[in-house]
Amino acid sequence: MSIRLGTRGSTLAVRQSRMVADALAEASGQDVELVEISTAGDRSTAPVAALGVGVFVSALRDALAAKEIDLAVHSYKDLPTAPADGLVIAATPLREDPRDALVARDGLTLAEMPAGARIGTGAVRRIAQLHSLGLPIEIVPIRGNVDTRLRKVASGELDGVVVARAGLVRLGRANEVTEILDPGQMLPSPAQGVLAIECRVDDPDLFDALRALDHAPTRAAVDAERALLATLEAGCSAPVAGLAEIVEHGQTDPAGEIYLRGAVLSPDGRVALRLSRTGTLADASTVGRLLAEELLGAGANEVLGVQQ
């Protein structure tokens, strides 16, 4: 019997899932079939902030718990910080480029945008950071699959869109990027560019097979970024950003260094707290928690507008 891999139906999700399916078939010697699961996030056209964290995820997790599928592939940044009962992230493969990118008409960069240029993005984190750059642009809230967003530039409805570069790379469309945004200006979402491969805790054979797809430095980076997010008690719908970079590591070097940057912004981008911290790879989640505590000490809750 073949292994059933659950995926969302978007072009990007199917592309990512097929990559994992091929790698798993290679590692396990078994057949792997894709099973498309439609999620509430795919069916709705409401802003993601209104739908809540995890809308893209719960249908896949329900199917996994019900044993309709054996594993699910998620974009890690779309996962809520709370772990799911009976499920485990068995592997985080090598991270794709974590940075955000601009896809604009006529090869333009953000700095070259004329006054009144319309830049589309859906994430509150990107909206806040775009505002904080103080450019004379109009920020247009959009949503939809990556293909849908890019079409708004091609059609002339927008002058540009800001999206994750990782998605474009996986879709084979990285050549459409007109500017890779520097993390010093546009810090990405925690876990951006990372895939989470999830299976049931009661499926140890599959878990063991999936471990072969895990990339330890990627997992350490995610642990740091997600600990930052969890300690701030912020979901993917808050203007919180985090990026961990691994400095001089070997595949299994526990002495590697981790450099974590974090940012917390007011939704209008007028206030931005940016701090960083280094630590050892083995203490990745501690680095994330400590950076979050520093941000909280500097007033993160007030900046986010959290009620005291």
- List the catalytic residues: 78
Residue 163 interacting with ligand PBG (CB under 6 A): yes
Tell me the window of 84-92, 102-110, 159-167, 254-262 that interacts with ligand PBG (CB under 6 A): 159-167
The binder of ligand PBG chosen from 164, 181, 291, 295 (CB under 6 A)? 164
**Token representation of residue 204:** 């140890």
Residues numbered 180-209 forming contacts with ligand PBG, rule: CB under 6 A: 192-193
Q: Binding to ligand PBG by residue 285, rule CB under 6 A?
A: no
| Closer CB to ligand PBG, 53 or 296, in the complex | 53
Interface pick for ligand PBG out of 160, 167, 217, 239 (rule CB under 6 A)? 167
Rule CB under 6 A: choose which of 53, 72, 78, 288 binds ligand PBG. 78
Of the pair 221, 290, the CB lying nearest ligand PBG is at 221
Q: Which is nearer to ligand PBG, 77 or 226 (CB)?
A: 77
Among 20, 166, 181, 186, binds ligand PBG (CB under 6 A): 166
Residues that bind ligand PBG (CB under 6 A): 75, 77-78, 146, 163-164, 166-167, 192-193
